[in-house]
Amino acid sequence: QVLSFVIPTQLQRVTHRALHRLFHTRSRLFVVLHVALQAAVYGEYSWEVFVYCWELQFHLLLLLLPYLLLAGNMACFILCSRADPGIITKSNHASLVKMYVYDGVLFQKGIVCPTCDMEKPARSKHCSFCGTCVHRFDHHCVWVNNCIGAFNAKYFFLYLFTLTAMAATIAILTAAFLIQVVLLSDMMHGTYIDDQGQEQAVEILFLIQHLFLTFPRIVFMLGFVILLTLVLGAYCCFSLYLALTNQTSNEWYKSRRYGCSHCLTLQPCDGQVVYKNIYSKGIWMNLKEIFKPCTVLEGKKK
């Protein structure tokens, strides 16, 4: 009975430590998984879809578009993972504190980070993964193994956009190939014998089953990239919304505790504080803040 209690307890501790190292420290595991998934999709696209589409006389530039997007995506990935997101240090702390005012709701003046032993500038947050405070902290992305902050947010947005475009382009080309196969075979006007021995006209479900049996890997890849396009597209739209309204993921999540508004003042509502986004300066200035962030030196001049 003692062993039956001790062994599961030790197993739980080991599992907890492994999960803590995986999800609470910087790890390259998700980067490797990310690269492996890209390699699998592009391997299948190059090995079958590209060859079949070339035989069907698809335009070469259209077939090469996924590779051009891949090159741009890898460049954005490297920049995003290697760039300084805006780590707050003793030397730049004084300048970064002056970048944004405290709104008094999400960011309070005088809050000291117990780990970094510095007052937290407005819109900053301590990242438990990296062990540092980050200026204009958005989130820690395990797929690039780095924080997303003021100085690499533009690279992350471009990385996300090109990743979505890659998945969408491969999905469109793969679907176009399968549609071309169906049209050339004139399968839609055919018939088949069902389990009861009755002759039936070809339906969509039968067509999908036939294509899956004929091109199993291609159909499976198509389903995967369509799902990926939908998920990434939704996240890309959300990131664009945050950029246009000058919010970070961290701020958006924290603001859910309060009433949602984008006005420039704070107002009480039934005795409760309603959060108002004071950092939005209009669509153009908000985008400029993402793609041309104010540096420490520029902050000193101001």
pLDDT bucket at 3, cuts 50 / 70 / 90: very low
How many domains in the chain? 1
Point out the catalytic residue in the list 76, 80, 133, 141. Answer: 141
Q: Note the pTM of the prediction, 2 decimals.
A: 0.82
- Secondary structure letter of residue 47 according to DSSP: I
Residue 103 lies in a domain: no
pLDDT tens per residue across span 146-199: 999 999 999 999 999 999 999 999 999 999 999 998 888 776 666 666 666 666
Q: Is the pLDDT of residue 17 over 90?
A: no
Q: What is the mean pLDDT of residues 74-85?
A: 94
CA 18 to CA 196: how far, in whole Å?
55
Q: Which residue has the higher pLDDT, 5 or 79?
A: 79
Q: pLDDT tens-digit profile of 26-59?
A: 678 888 999 999 999 999 999 999 999 999 999 9
Radius of gyration, CA atoms only, the chain? 26
Tell me, yes or no, whether 271 lies in a domain. no
Amino acid letter for position 68: L
Structure tokens at 186: 């004139």
Residues 181 and 219: beta-carbon distance below 8 Å: no
- The pLDDT tens digits of the residues spanning 191-241 come to 666 666 666 666 777 777 888 888 999 999 999 999 999 999 999 999 999
Residue with tokens 């395990």: 142
Q: Which domain holds residue 170?
A: 9-85+150-258+279-300
CA angle 293, 294, 300 (to 5 degrees): 170
Taking all residues of the chain, what is their mean pLDDT, rounded to a whole number?
A: 84
**Residue 26 belongs to a domain:** yes
Binned at pLDDT 50, 70 and 90, residue 24 comes out as low
Q: Is residue 141 annotated as part of the catalytic site, yes or no?
A: yes
Q: Give dist(CA 71, CA 133) in Å, integer.
A: 32
Q: Residues 260-277: pLDDT tens digits?
A: 544 444 455 455 556 788
In a domain, 167, yes or no: yes
Task: Answer yes or no: is 273 within a domain.
Answer: no
Q: Is 284 contained in some domain? A: yes
For residue 114, being part of any structural domain is answered with no
Residue 68 covered by a domain: yes
Is residue 301 scored above 50 in pLDDT?
Answer: no
Please give the Cα distance from 171 to 177 (Å, whole number). Answer: 10
Residue type, 171: A
Q: What share of the chain is helix, strand, coil (3-state, %, to 5)?
A: 60, 10, 30
What token pair was written down for 29? 């595991």
